[in-house]
Amino acid sequence: MKIALIATEKLPVPSVRGGAIQIYLEAVAPLIAKKHEVTVFSIKDPNLADREKVDGVHYVHLDEDRYEEAVGAELKKSRFDLVHVCNRPSWVPKLKKQAPDAVFILSVHNEMFAYDKISQAEGEICIDSVAQIVTVSDYIGQTITSRFPSARSKTKTVYSGVDLKTYHPRWTNEGQRAREEMRSELGLHGKKIVLFVGRLSKVKGPHILLQALPDIIEEHPDVMMVFIGSKWFGDNELNNYVKHLHTLGAMQKDHVTFIQFVKPKDIPRLYTMSDVFVCSSQWQEPLARVHYEAMAAGLPIITSNRGGNPEVIEEGKNGYIIHDFENPKQYAEHINDLLSSSEKRERLGKYSRREAESNFGWQRVAENLLSVYEKNR
């Protein structure tokens, strides 16, 4: 099959500037390309050639202005058997006019079928135009089918994944070495490290973890809470919210470390150096990919019960789910419990890694997508 994978207009693929969808496409495309001819369309970036072939995948980078129209023109001049559109349901009918003989698959990574995102008529036309809708979580699937019952027979969850080869748990030789190197580099030897990775925005809840910190310090004076991220992918400018976080952090300056945007390739060692991973999302998260990364690194996970996040957590086996997600004391209680027992951290962390190996490696994700493609072709 000749397959086109269509990224959104937000960030380029390969994922030189991060982005969950971009990481997803960059990872699965070479695996799918072992069986089929694959072209990935995304926006231009000064660090990427306009057209290139990498790992058997054709990459076409188009101008951000009028990107949707440019993709349509590319589809019209090349005959694709299958077109996979990421996260832009409103594009599907227009692109299908340019490639009427192709099978269309839509993957949905956010609440793109919400009332403020798409009209009833547009949603119905999109659903009629696609052979299948794959979603990153059951939660996202439910946001579609609850409004559009006609989508039920076409909607299927295909969880995202992680590159297992780049994450080394601390109990491995490579993991121990990476852990020591990273802790030495950051001056964090002897610390119990609680890790947050994500955009520094109110909906991600880092302020709640900072509010929880005094209760954690009381039991664990050797704790260090590490925040990795910035206000937006690759943008280290300090807005008012980030300044507020820094102000809160300054109140406990011996227990807080901020690390601004990190390139995806540099992330694994930061997980490996840590002891506990926390996702404090306050919004209905589709299913944050940081959960997969933490599992691959062999970390116990504490996450909020928002959106799809709980779907990859088995309570007491690889982590804990915070139901009172706005309450700093709930996070402090679970963090303290894990920091008090290295045996428990290791037991939950090893279960996390086994889950990642069984269900969330990119090979498994690619196989699941291929089964969707081949069934509908």
Q: Does 147 lie in the same domain as 272?
A: no
Helical H segments across the chain, by residue range: 20-32, 67-77, 92-98, 120-129, 138-145, 173-186, 206-219, 240-250, 267-272, 290-296, 328-339, 342-359, 362-376
pLDDT in tens, 218-265: 999 999 999 998 654 455 567 899 999 999 999 999 999 999 867 667
pLDDT in tens, 229-240: 865 445 556 789
- Structurally, the chain folds into a number of domains equal to 2
pLDDT in tens, 300-357: 999 999 999 999 999 999 999 999 999 999 999 999 999 999 999 999 999 999 999 9
Q: Does 153 lie in the same domain as 41?
A: yes
Confidence band, pLDDT 50/70/90 cuts, at residue 31: very high
Q: Does 190 lie in the same domain as 82?
A: no
CATH number for 64: 3.40.50.2000
Q: Does 37 lie in the same domain as 101?
A: yes
Q: Does 146 lie in the same domain as 109?
A: yes
Q: Does 112 lie in the same domain as 233?
A: no
Q: Does 135 lie in the same domain as 116?
A: yes
Q: Which residue has the tokens 């504490």?
A: 302
Q: Does 224 lie in the same domain as 131?
A: no
Note the residue count of the chain: 377
Q: Does 134 lie in the same domain as 217?
A: no
Q: Does 62 lie in the same domain as 210?
A: no
pTM for the model: 0.92
Can you give the residue range of the structural domain that contains 328? 164-359
Q: Does 121 lie in the same domain as 174?
A: no
Closest by CA to 209, choosing from 235, 187, 190, 229, is 229
From the centroid of its chain, how far is CA 354?
19
Among positive and negative, which fits the CA dihedral 172, 19, 21, 244? Answer: positive
Query: 214 φ, ψ to 5°?
Result: -55, -40
- pLDDT reported for residue 234: 52
Q: Does 239 lie in the same domain as 183?
A: yes
- pLDDT reported for residue 110: 96
- pLDDT reported for residue 238: 77
- pLDDT reported for residue 266: 79
